[in-house]
Amino acid sequence: MAHTSQASGWSVDRWRTFWADPSAERALVRTPTVITDDVVGVWPHATRPVRGKQEYTQRIVALLSLVPDLHLDLMEHATNGEFVFLRWSGRGTGPDGPFRTIGVDRVRLHDGLVAENLILSDHPIFAVLAQRAEAEVV
């Protein structure tokens, strides 16, 4: 699969580079260029998936607004057909202070873009993110 050598689109290396030093501002610019128009994101603790470029991008921006110093380190990854699995460790400062966490993203690619992302982590920061995001929808 050519998704790792494309000039645009999603790749493991681009994921690693972005999450090494992310920002809400960069997410607003970068995220729409690596996802499909009908992308689906399944986030921990959320009652429903996020759908489409705008909602998906806004959830990443919301995460980076909640944890402005968030950094994710890629521990390992594997590819199985259209799926890429990323095991990561993270650190940052949330509303309750500094934290460390781990998680896994299962990314489904379509034409080198993220069509679906299933994010798995049991850290409470994701519950806070889900509560805030769902309060904005109401």
Is residue 126 within a helix (H) or strand (E), and if so which, with residue range? helix 124-137
10-37 pLDDT per residue, tens: 999 999 999 999 999 999 999 999 999 9
Q: For residue 72, what are the CA distances in angstroms to 79, 80, 103, 137?
A: 19, 22, 9, 27
Q: Is 92 helix (H, G, I), strand (E, B) or coil?
A: strand
Q: Is 135 helix (H, G, I), strand (E, B) or coil?
A: helix
Residue 5 has pLDDT above 60, yes or no: no
What is the SS3 string spanning 42-76?
A: ECCCCCCCEEHHHHHHHHHHHHHHHCCCCEEEEEE
90-129 pLDDT per residue, tens: 999 999 999 999 999 999 999 999 999 999 999 999 999 9
Domain ranges of the chain: 2-137
> Is the CATH code 3.90.950.10 the one for domain 2-137?
no
55-90 pLDDT per residue, tens: 999 999 999 999 999 999 999 999 999 999 999 999
pLDDT, residue 134, reads 82
